[in-house]
Structures are given as C-alpha cells and as structure tokens.
Amino acid sequence: MSQPKQHIRALITGAGSGASGNLIRALQGLSPKPYIVGVNHDRFVLKLSLAECNYLSPDSVSSAFVNAAVEIIKRERINLIAPTDDQAVKVLSDNRVRFPVRLLLPCRRTIDMCQDKYALNVFLRRHGIPAPETYSVNSLRDIDRIFFRLSHASVIWCRSRYGSRALGAIPVSSVEQARTWITQWRDLQQINVSDFTLSEYLPGRHFIVPSVWCNGSLLHAQATEVLDYFAAGNNPSGIFSLSCLAKTVAAVEALEITLNAVRAIEPHPSGVFSVELKESSNGKPAVTEINAGRFPAGISALLAAGKDNMIAIFASAVLGQPIKATKPHGSALEYYLIRDIDAIPKVFARKDILNGMRRVDTTRSSMDSVK
C-alpha cells in the first residue's frame, strides 16, 4: 500500500500512556518516518512518551488546553492531530474552528451522542441497528421496574453510560446486587445513580471493528476479536475494553452491522469510528458502544499490520490525500496481538505462532526418570 506523500508532523495527546505508545509505534513504521510531538498534563506519564518532542500542557478538561495546543501546532508546524481518549476528542470537536489544521473528526453531534452510551443505544435501536435492550436508571427505585422488564434475562449488565474501560460494569442477577453495586459507586466514587444503565447481558464473542471514513467514503475497516483481557480475574465484570490478546477476523455480520451503524449516525461520515459489539447467546452480534474520533487504545498495532495500515490510511486522509485500502472491508488473514504490562506489544501471523518454540517430550522425560 502506498504511504502518505506529505511528511507527517503529528501531535499526539495523552503522550506517555499506553494508547499513545501504540499509536506512535504504528506511525513510526511509516516511510518517511513522521516527526511526532506529544502532550500531556501529567509530567510523570509524559516521561514515558515515545515522541521526539514533548510538551507539558494543561489538562484537556481545561480551557487553557486549546490555547496551548494551538500554540504548539504553530510552533512545531503540525499537520496531523491524533487524540487518544474521549476527553481529548471532545475538546478538539467542541473547538474545531480554533485549530489551524484539518481535523478528520465525526461531527460534533455524533461525538456527543457516542460518548453517552445510553443515548447511542436509543438511537441505534430506533434505527433498526442491533443493540442490547437497555434502560436508564434515574433513581434506585427504578431498578425493580427495570428488572421486571428484563425478566426474560437471567443475568443483567450494569454499567455507567459515560466513561471508558468498562467503568462501573458488572453482571448482576438480582435487584439487591444491582442496588448495592450502584450505591457503592455513588457513595465511594461520587458517580450519580442516574449515570447507570441496566441492559440484557450478551455472553458471546467480543468484537472491535475500527473504520476510517472520508467525506462519506469508507477507506478501511477491519474486524478484530478480543480473546483475553488484562486482569480479567480481578475485574468483577470479567470484561475490559483493554485486551491482552486479540486477533483480526473476518466477522461478516459484525462488519455489516458496524457499517450500517456508522451510516445511520452520519450519512456522509468522516474520521475514525471504533464500534464494539458482543454476541448474544444465539451468536448474533449487537453494538454495545462506539468510540468516535479515535482509534481503540489496545489494538492500534494490530490495525497497522498487513498490507493495509489503517493508521497510514487515516494520516493520508487528514493530509488531503485519501488512500483506500486494497481490501476496504478488511483482510481475512489472522494476525494476533499480544500485550502485557511493561512489555512491548507484538503482532504475528497465525502461521508464526509456534516459531522459535521448542516442545518438551514429557513422556520420554518420565521414562528416563523411572530408569
């Protein structure tokens, strides 16, 4: 696949975080190698940044962040901005007219709706896009009523309608469990009861399907499947947005639902849409959330593997030189991504899984020990 012709000078938010590191590594694989600037308000996290140049900036929740970012863009002649978290996406979206470079972002209404998982769920179900039956919890008194509506489900999924990384998420099987869980988050984490939702629990496979669009045209989409999660055994939900093992897959139905969902939200989409889906007990995928405006934190390296580097395709579109993937609907080849704390993520093809490994003949060892 061809590379962006214009030299990339990128600004990466959240520099030093895992999400920024994955994205920077993907960008550094391009030729010519981009010049990358990182920003973060946390001076300790910023020390881990992989960028060539780093700036200690105001927090993205502060109005001063926009002024600082604009100054950095001018000083460093930035031509590409890549946010790595929802807060940075929203700040860029809300202040897009202030930035002197092109922001390949979905429209503001889309970003606001996707950052409210309940509002997104209502929209998708209204437009015939498969999504789990979900109800908002306005008060603790609502929980009994919602459980009655979801009485066909033996397990119910409880989570916050805002935030990321499965914030406040847990499967519950009784009104008492749900009430106790939500009350604990209210009292200890100051999260409002009205921030929670209850929905049908989807026990099947977990897909993440990122896609890049430009002026209504799909440039590239690739289905991936999450196979294992960080600290899954220590997480009450057993599910986490951050995978420690994932692979590319040819999930035809999940991909079709993804593209229909994006087109339902925006008739002429632009930017990155990362759609998460879970399968029901009968194997039917449904959309659980959409991260609009950024790549998923855990699988950027996987998206850069193979002939069609999705990160390069995004960069080309931002620079006004959109490149369509050789296979816009994704490759059927299986690439695996393995990640762990304090380890550099590694991507390898299925055929290479056992390369460099030796087997132990336990039968022979046992016989030898007996002799």
Spans in the chain with pLDDT lower than 70: 1-5, 231-241, 364-371
* pLDDT at res. 359: 85
Number of domains in the chain: 3
Does residue 116 belong to any structural domain of this protein?
no
- pLDDT given at position 3: 66
Of 171, 200, 229, at which residue does a domain stop?
200
Specify if 14 maps to a domain.
Answer: yes
One domain for residues 13 and 96: yes
Residue 370: its pLDDT value, please?
Answer: 45
Domain hosting 162: range is 133-200
Rounded Cα–Cα distance for residues 89 and 200 (Å) = 29
pLDDT reported for residue 371 = 44
- pLDDT number for residue 167: 83
Q: Region of 255 please: left (phi>0), alpha (psi -120 to 50) or beta.
A: alpha
pLDDT of residue 29: 84
- pLDDT at position 363, please? 75
pLDDT at 217: 96
Residue 169 lies in a domain: yes
Q: Do 186 and 93 sit in the same domain of this protein?
A: no
Q: pLDDT by residue (tens digit) across 308-322? A: 999 999 999 999 989
Residues 215 and 148 in one domain: no
